Amino acid sequence: MNLSEYIAGIEKVSGQPVPDGSPRWVKLAERYAETLRAIQERTPNLLEQGIQFPENRVSRALFTAETGIALPKTQRGSLAVLTGYVGAEKVDADRRAKEQAEADRKGEAERKRIGCIVERFRGGATITGAELVDAAHSFGADIHPRTIGVLCRKVSAIKRDGTAAARPGTSLNGNTIWPLIRLVLAGTDEPAADAMPDDTHADDATQAVAESLFRPGGTLFAAAV
């Protein structure tokens, strides 16, 4: 089956003409070339051409014309034949490679997201309680589920100096929160003087700033000592 026959088949099935050189003609020509190459080279990409679907009659006819293999009328049966034609090991290896590539892509995106959170936090910007949890986890923190729940559900904003906007009545335990802040700031949970203000000694100006940064209900909790 040549390109002209392929496009004529598409026109017959769709009931719509495909003028030579039109955008649709170009797209179909590209699909034809890709499908034909996948058939001739027996690449796993063949399974992505939609040939297994009974409604794709023209592509299925192209496969049969090139290979002499008639496909079953069902999707499952057609997929089995195509997998056998390409080679089950090749198909499985291709699937694993794509899964790994997708996992790598997601992992890299997550590393970039966490990196942005850490950079913002270290620069003095506010982050959410959930972001603090994610950032601390990236440094290996083992966080109690109750602390995770409080930070993720009740703390809408938090800064490196400990100021935080939380739901009214939320109790923030400095002994559990400050190690996470230190970890994100310096990659260690060891105390850092410039990153661990103690609100028991905070002056009125500091408290005023803390209250102005967040909505009513914001608190400045004490560092562990």
Per-residue pLDDT of 118-157, as tens digits, reads 999 999 999 999 999 999 999 999 999 999 999 999 998 9
Largest CA distance in the chain: 86
What is the sign, positive or negative, of the torsion defined by CA atoms of 31, 35, 41, 44? positive
**Helix ranges restricted to H, 42-128:** 57-67, 75-86, 88-122
- The series of mean pLDDT values per 10 residues for the chain, 225 residues long, is 90 88 91 92 91 92 93 94 94 93 95 94 93 94 91 90 82 82 76 43 38 41 39
| Average pLDDT over all residues of the chain | 83
pLDDT of residue 188: 52
pLDDT of residue 186: 84
- As a whole-number percent, the residues of the chain with pLDDT over 90 amount to 59
What span, in angstroms and rounded, lies between the C-alpha atoms of 180 and 52? 52
pLDDT of residue 161: 85
Strand pairing category for 163-166 and 219-220: antiparallel
Cα 151 off chain centre by: 23
Coil, strand or helix at 103: helix
Which of 196, 212, 195, 184 lies closest to 120, judged by CA?
A: 184
